[in-house]
């Protein structure tokens, strides 16, 4: 158990050395997590969009052929909901 705690402490120290993150790094992380969270949430609900398709819809605004408009809107609305929560939590 102590070995595991030591490993965790070491990793935390490594992470702390990288702080503070630049604005570009924070923006990149937010983008990755927005796509990942949206994809996973919608997949649980039965969406047939792949991770790559979700990323294209959210980042490029591309419509994916053979996918329903409902699936597109679910992805877009989910990302907007994340943004709304972030917005009201920082006011």
Over residues 31-49, the pLDDT tens digits come to 999 999 999 999 999 999 9
With 80 as the cut, is the pLDDT of residue 20 above it? yes
With 90 as the cut, is the pLDDT of residue 66 above it? yes
What CA–CA distances, in Å, run from 4 to 9, 13, 17, 46? 9, 14, 20, 37
Q: Where are the domains of the chain?
A: 22-89
Which candidate, 87, 45, 42, 28, places its Cα nearest to that of 57? 42
Give the pLDDT confidence score for residue 15 in this predicted structure.
87
Q: What is the mean pLDDT of the chain?
A: 93
Which residues have CB under 8 Å from 40's CB, separation 6+? none
Interatomic CA distance for residues 26 and 13, integer angstroms? 19
């Amino acid at each position: 158990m102590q070995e595991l705690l030591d490993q965790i402490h070491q990793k935390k120290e490594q992470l702390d050395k990288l702080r503070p993150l630049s604005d570009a790094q924070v923006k990149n992380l937010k983008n990755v997590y927005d796509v990942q969270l949206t994809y996973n949430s919608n997949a649980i609900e039965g969406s047939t969009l792949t991770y790559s398709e979700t990323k294209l819809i959210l980042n490029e605004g591309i419509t994916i052929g053979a996918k329903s408009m409902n699936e597109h809107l679910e992805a877009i609305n989910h990302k907007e909901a994340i943004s709304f929560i972030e917005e009201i939590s920082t006011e």
